[in-house]
Amino acid sequence: MTSSQSPPSQRQRAAVLRRAVPAAVRSRDVAVLYGAAVVATSSVLLLLPDAAADAVVLRSSTNLVNLRLHPPFVLVASAFVEPGPFELLLVVPLVWALGELQRRLGRAVVLVTAVLGHVGATLVVSTVLLAGITHGRVALSDVATADVGVSYVLVTSLGVLTAWAPRRRAAVAAGGTVALVAALVAGRTFTDLGHLAGWLVGLGLALVVDRARREAAAPTAVGPVPAG
């Protein structure tokens, strides 16, 4: 004799969903809050007149002028500003990537990834830009170019997530590196250079994460108990 179970009712499915959504948000709260903050600030920009919005973006940019005048402010503010609606779509993969990191490794790793990715890539770009200007290979006008957004954090977090592709990590890492190098060669922009730098930072963090996971999973050797 077989027993059949009736499919869950609409009320039961709604109850499951009400429990699942808050749990999913709690396990990814840093990623969700960061994404919400970026959407909020960038939405305000979209409501401003073009001249005012451009002024805010330029004020928040991590260009050489701003980094010299008020580096702490622009290093933070630039990570919360997207200049247009198309760029704002990056928040979707950003929240997913940082959410996966938080779910697997916790809030601290998300914060470290975001800071190292954004600040590290910014410093690489500013150093190369300054060297180019010093040697006459970059136009002086580039010292005030706008450079804002979440893309450095995004590519860094994607690099860290390669730690969970053990069989395909080499292919993923090589493919991502080749794609970003190709974008840099084709576009020849300092933003492309920042993306490559962020990706390499993420791959480095992935190696650290993978080593820590292996050490945590390794059995602890127990020596002989001394005779009493």
Structural domains of the chain ordered from first start: 16-216 (1.20.1540.10)
Q: Residue 121 has what pLDDT?
A: 93
Q: Residue 36 has what pLDDT?
A: 95
Q: Residue 226 has what pLDDT?
A: 59
Per the prediction, the chain carries an average pLDDT of: 83
Q: Where would I find the H helices in the chain?
A: 10-26, 29-47, 50-60, 64-69, 71-77, 85-88, 91-105, 107-134, 151-160, 169-187, 190-217
Q: Residue 119 has what pLDDT?
A: 95
Q: Residue 73 has what pLDDT?
A: 95
pLDDT digits (tens, 9 = 90+) for 86-141: 889 999 999 999 999 998 888 998 999 999 999 999 999 999 988 888 888 777 77
pLDDT of 176 over the 60 cut: yes
pLDDT of 4 over the 60 cut: no
pLDDT of 30 over the 60 cut: yes
Residue 43: CB atoms within 10 Å = 12
Identity of the residue numbered 39: V
Mean pLDDT is lowest, of 19-23, 63-67, 162-166, for: 19-23
Select from 195, 184, 190 the least CA-distant residue to 154.
195
Q: Residue 28 has what pLDDT?
A: 84
pLDDT of 5 over the 80 cut: no
Residue 96: CB atoms within 10 Å = 17
pLDDT digits (tens, 9 = 90+) for 68-78: 999 999 999 99
User: Would you state the structure tokens that stand for residue 145, as one six-digit string?
Assistant: 């170019």
Q: Residue 79 has what pLDDT?
A: 95
Residue, of 178 and 4, whose pLDDT is higher: 178
- Average the pLDDT over 37-55 and give the result: 93
pLDDT of 1 over the 60 cut: no
Q: Residue 26 has what pLDDT?
A: 67
pTM strictly above 0.85: no
149 sits in the region (left: phi over 0; alpha: psi -120 to 50; else beta) called left
Q: Helix 107-134 to helix 29-47 angle, to the nearest 10 degrees?
A: 50
Mean pLDDT is lowest, of 82-86, 184-188, 219-223, for: 219-223
